[in-house]
Structure 1
């Protein structure tokens, strides 16, 4: 398969509360949910376009297990196999995103700081999913 055969990528994460997750992603990253709101005021499915061919879908934990198939368990809370990275253009943007995450109730895992690979900070959303916000070293020189 070549990259030309791929229509897009959807990253799916399990969540506990649809409204809380939607508000966090809107307030912290500026992502707007796609689709018409359901009865709870949140589009179903809850997803955001985060790039030209990339979407983020947030699925309630019970539904996430259903999608995985019978007999499959969702990883326990605070157990992560993925670090999602959001690349921004300047160190100030890293500080801004991490600040918004703090104000929106996210956990700050690593305060913004200069590292050999760039200026970066790490936050967790309300469900514990880790997001690294980074500007590459070459852009900070």
Structure 2
């Protein structure tokens, strides 16, 4: 089975690159383009999933005449399993320090432990523990 790649529209490649690589500590794949950012801008989250960050204008060839959801409107929530409650707290802390908006503070939920943040483009990430 091949990995699933979730493509997310972004406004600024440099901002997104710094947020995910420097802020969250995820390693971008590929060789740097002229702007110093790998093209395409992809991060492997695990063996089965990755994200590709695509400038909003580049979405047109895929979505046709549909519009990209404006900031503050979420069409999906990306869920990342941090493996433990401490892992949730750590990733949420790193995201916040890197400039993420905390959507939901990390803490116990009726179904487990989780928190949520919005990246620089407003994409919501729910971070859960593996319990």
Is residue 85 from structure 1 mapped to residue 79 from structure 2 by the alignment? yes
Please give the per-residue CA displacement for 1:62-94, whole angstroms capped at 9, x wherever unaligned. Answer: 11123322x222111221111111112221111
On the 8 A contact 2:69/2:75 being kept in 1, the answer is: no
Deviation of the 1:100 alpha carbon? 0.7
Alignment partners' CA distance in 2, 1:109 and 1:7: 31
Structure 2 counterpart of 1:127 = 121
Deviation of the 1:10 alpha carbon? 1.2
TM-score (norm 1): 0.86
Which segment is superposed worse, 106-115 or 59-68? 59-68
Alignment of 1:1-141 (within 5 A): 6-69=1-64, 71-136=65-130, 139=131
What is the RMSD of the two structures over their aligned residues, measured on CA atoms?
1.4
The unaligned stretches of length 5 or more in structure 2 are none
Deviation of the 1:110 alpha carbon? 0.6
